[in-house]
Amino acid sequence: MQGNIHSIETLGTLDGPGIRMVVFFQGCRLRCAYCHNPDTWAFRKGISTTSKNIVEKAKRYKPYFKFNDGGVTFSGGEPLMQPEFLLECLKLCKREGIHTVLDTAGVGMGDYEEILNYTDLVILDIKHSNSIKYKDITGMDIGCYNEFKEALIRNKNDIWIKHVVTPGINDNLNDMREFEREVITFPDDMVKKVELLPYHTLGVYKYSELNVAYRLDGVEPLLKEKLYELKNCLSIEKLVR
């Protein structure tokens, strides 16, 4: 099975448990206001490769994976936009006994049930639970996310939830309460961790290189003090990192 990827990061430590090989898929339908990887949006760019090549590469790192419960994380872009390619990669990883993580915003092309059957952990990027604000942030209808969410709950995968907190968009108490209400719609035994990520500007330079307008031009990074304040407002704080 052949697909397009943006890049591969080896020995990553921030994209799931343990040491991981992170495969960044090319292509995404969302146009999030704060996206720091606009170079992953286009579907016809990137590197053409096969699922076999990816897993052969991953096999070289199996000694590192076994040492600390690591494995392979499929990220993006949006991996769910290449469902057949993703599924083949997941199946080959499981055949090799390699732990699999799917890092996703939940907006793909379907086949969710089978994909989730071969996924050990889902890192779910929740943009917003309010349909109007979701569309403003991403440019897409929230229904696509809800379809994936329903499949995720049916399959009962372990979940890490992440949420980018951005000044002027979702950095107030009401937005935090809405986010919290969204988190608790998932069964307690599924949600293993919740991570609030502060908005940053590290990828802004890519927009000028791609000649793409940046929607949040001039917005300063979120202060650590503000993030700490918002974390303390949540009743699910025992899960929050």
Contact 103, 79 (CB under 8 A): yes
Residue 72: pLDDT over 90: yes
Residue 109: pLDDT over 70: yes
> Across the strands, what pairs with 220?
none
Integer-rounded Cα radius of gyration of the chain: 17
> Sorting pLDDT into bands at 50, 70 and 90, what band is 67?
confident
The SS3 call for residue 70 is coil
Side chain identity, residue 99: H
Contact 130, 146 (CB under 8 A): no
Residue 238: pLDDT over 60: no
- The H or E element containing residue 152 is helix 143-155
Question: In 10 A of CB 183, how many CB atoms?
Answer: 20
The SS3 call for residue 239 is coil
Contact 213, 207 (CB under 8 A): yes
Measure the N-to-C terminal CA separation of the chain; round to a whole number of Å: 37
Query: Which region holds residue 18: left if phi is over 0, alpha if psi is between -120 and 50, else beta?
Result: left
> Across the strands, what pairs with 100?
72
Contact 23, 5 (CB under 8 A): yes
pLDDT tens-digit readout, 20-56? 999 999 999 999 999 999 999 999 899 999 999 999 9
Residue 240: pLDDT over 70: no
What is the pLDDT averaged over residues 217-235?
90
Alpha helices in the chain (DSSP H): 51-59, 62-68, 83-95, 112-117, 131-138, 143-155, 173-183, 204-210, 224-231
Residue 82 has a pLDDT of 98
> Sorting pLDDT into bands at 50, 70 and 90, what band is 234?
confident
What percent of the chain clears pLDDT 90, i.e. is strictly above it? 90
pLDDT tens-digit readout, 142-175? 999 999 999 999 999 999 999 999 999 999 999 9
Residue 239: pLDDT over 70: no
The SS3 call for residue 27 is coil
Rounded Cα distance between 114 and 149, Å, is 14
> Sorting pLDDT into bands at 50, 70 and 90, what band is 241?
low
Rounded Cα distance between 96 and 10, Å, is 18
Average pLDDT value over all residues in the chain: 94
Residue 66 has a pLDDT of 87
What is the pLDDT averaged over residues 102-121?
97
